[in-house]
Amino acid sequence: MSTAVKPRVKAPAKASKGEIFEVKTLVNHEMESGQRKDRQGAVIPRKIIKKFTARYNGRVVFSCDWYPSISSNPYLAFNIKADESGTIQYVWEDDDGTLYEAESKLAVN
């Protein structure tokens, strides 16, 4: 399994007040289900991202739970309404408590 988990986000830097815009995310992660075995027959331990959360100026605007059936390198797209300028924080939480984070800035005019 690769150890480099890299979250990527594509979100606009500017939006008009009230505009609904799309955010696209992708995280490089193997999403090991815990169901497979290695060459020696030992079970490969489960390691999945179990939760994704997006916060816009500290307020949760999107959240979802993920399960072992999610593919590796999961892609996610969702919409947000532009209310005010600020920061959007993205957090992916792994089974073992590891957090993978990214953020984007939004200027609202």
pLDDT digits (tens, 9 = 90+) for 2-53: 457 889 999 999 999 999 999 999 999 988 888 899 999 999 988 899 999 9
Domain extent listing, the chain: 6-108
The string of pLDDT tens digits covering residues 54-93 is 999 999 999 999 988 888 999 999 999 999 999 999 999 9
Look at residue 22 in the predicted model and tell me its pLDDT: 98
Residue 1 pLDDT class (50, 70, 90 cuts): very low
Beta-strand ranges (E) seen in the chain are 6-10, 14-15, 20-28, 49-56, 59-65, 75-81, 86-94, 99-108
The CATH code that applies to domain 6-108 is 2.60.40.10
